[in-house]
Chains A and B, each alone.
Chain A
Amino acid sequence: MKLNELNIREAQAKLVAGEITSVDLTKACLERIKEVDEKVHACLNVYEEMALLEAREADLRREKGEKGELLGIPYIAKDNILARGTKTTAASKILENYTAPFDATIIKRLKEQGAVLLAKANLDEFAHGASTENSAFGTTHNPWDLECVPGGSSGGSAASVASDMCIFALGTDTGGSIRHPASLCNVVGLKPSYGRSSRFGLIAMTSSTDVPGPLCKNVEDSAIVLEAIAGQDKNDATTIDKEVDDYKDNLKNEIKGKKIGISPEIVGQLSGESKEIFDEAKKKFEELGAEIVEVSLPNAKYGVPVYYIITPSEISSNLGRFDGIRYGMSSEETEDLTEFYSKTRGKGFGPEVKRRIMLGTYALSAGYYDAYYLKAQKVRTVIKEELDRALEEVDVLITPTAAGPAFKIGEQSDDPLKMYLEDMFVSPPSLAGLPAVSIPAGFINDMPVGMQVIGKRFDEKTVLNFSYIFEQATDYHKKKAKL
């Protein structure tokens, strides 16, 4: 097995045993990037020199007796996460030449643990999308079929893990952006509860639902990375002062007799092979001793329309900072300030970003606020309370992650509404701030399909426990893309 194909636990064991160094591991990943990224285009910028320096540093720390599960482990971060000295573009022309002056809290924590940053990953511009086709720097290709999308918006992160360019990756999830590409690329994608991991140093999209999290080769790795990045941060006042659980130690907890909720309204939307795969997963959990309980979620179907009012509204406000004055692209000379703003933004933003800014501006504008934004916030309450009630009766809920496997590049990029519906099953937990994982659950015509496990707010421990037990009883995650 090549070193870049290892998972965190395997790589760490070899490092501890002295069989390999972090430099060896880092070089193997960098070589893999060179070998396949021309085809996949998961990375926007690769930092070979910096990565090798960090790897050497990790090896020195180990020589001095330091230990740690992420010491010397190479990873890739989505390009809307600031890492000092790296270009951080959010895949937008407006930030094409922006170099991050400081580290996001999650990057800082990984640095402290000795993890090695290899590269920054492609995404839909400002994380707006579910296919990575909205990147201003070209689309990422799905390693399972290069003619297909990897999902999005963390498509570069998912594709880089699926093609073994790194040991793990970081993404951000606002309404499915970690879970959706994880499903389409056959990796494990974890969206922590809102407030569990710090947003400081992330390029803001929807401040009320944005959460950073890991994309990994298996559930155990996800638990390790979450433990490293989770916890309160004084630079993000929405992070919660709650103890971070020992996720790894709770993976093997017994699930016999525990309850899993399934919504007939959601299952009713499935057909063909998607339904078969979901039924199979349900049966597997029953075999493992869990009890399946029907829970009604009649309002989950309003997740997408609520999301597409709340999100554009927050975007129209958050992206107001791109004014061509403090950073980013700046328009040619014009004397008028308003014209300067409009020209800079008109030139710098891509089509989906413009659509969302306009949709949000409209929803928040005089005369429409009550009908759109306030109404969406109220339906958000209905969705949140419905999920909370369901989770009082069961330990976790399961749903499919996406409506189906990866679609062809270009197939639905002209139809924003169709793309929005990709978030059908993943947006409700985001609106409610619940933790949710997508894990590999099967294949349709050799293309991977994931299952989503949703838990109670701040109960990542149970979500990871159920996911781990399912993963260990199946071997979907062991199947790799052939490149």
Chain B
Amino acid sequence: MKLQKKDIQHIAKLARLELTEKEYDLYGEQLSGVLEFIDKLSEVNTDNVEPTAQVTGLLNILREDKVMDWNEKEQADAFKEAPNFEDNQYKVKRVL
């Protein structure tokens, strides 16, 4: 299927990606080409076929809901990666 510019704008908005005008045109064309190729899948009869999301066969791997200690230095280093971190909290923009 051929994606129109408004489709690409909508997808980019959903994906939280700011694109340039040039990018809208380029990706629109490239993604349309890829989707056309993917349409090949309609050749395969999948009536009564269950979808596969994972292949290990593992089911409900449970663990106790317990807080575990983590190396404090590693914790501190992880927080340091945040561009805006204050009083042990991540600072974000206004949500409401």
Contact = CB atoms under 8 A, between A and B. Distances in A.
Q: Are A and B part of the same complex? A: yes
Interface of A: 84, 98-99, 101-102, 194-195, 208, 234, 237-238, 240, 299, 302, 305-306, 308-309, 316, 323-328, 330, 334-343, 345-347, 349, 351, 354-355, 357-359, 361-362, 365, 372, 374-382, 384, 416-417, 420, 431-433, 457
14 contacts: A99-B77, A306-B41, A327-B82, A336-B93, A337-B92, A337-B93, A339-B18, A357-B17, A359-B31, A362-B35, A365-B14, A379-B46, A380-B52, A420-B34
Contacts of A349: 17
Interface in B80-96: 80-84, 90, 92-95
Contact of B38 (A240, A309, A357): A309
Interface residues of B, number: 54
Given A84-B74, A305-B41, A381-B51, A354 B27 contact: yes
Given A375-B46, A417-B33, A354 B23 contact: yes
Nearest to B12: A358
B30 A340 contact: no
Given A337-B95, A375-B46, A355 B54 contact: no
Given A362-B31, A416-B33, 15 more contacts: A194-B56, A208-B54, A234-B63, A238-B54, A238-B61, A302-B43, A305-B37, A309-B41, A327-B81, A340-B93, A347-B18, A372-B38, A375-B42, A379-B46, A384-B52
B15 A382 contact: no
Contacts of B51: 374, 377-378, 380-381
A338 B92 CA distance: 11
A358 B17 contact: yes
Given A101-B81, A335-B93, A337-B93, A379 B44 contact: yes
B6 interface: no
A328 B87 CA distance: 20
Contact of B11 (A102, A342, A358): A358
Interface of B: 3, 7-8, 11-19, 23, 26-27, 30-31, 33-35, 37-38, 40-44, 46, 49-56, 58, 61, 63, 71, 74-75, 77-78, 80-84, 90, 92-95
Nearest to B61: A237
Contacts, number: 168
Contact of B27 (A305, A355, A374): A355
A355 B16 contact: no
B17 A305 contact: no
Contact of B46 (A338, A351, A378, A431): A378
Contacts of B23: 351, 354
B78 A342 contact: no
B17 A299 contact: no
A316 B53 contact: no
B94 A354 contact: no
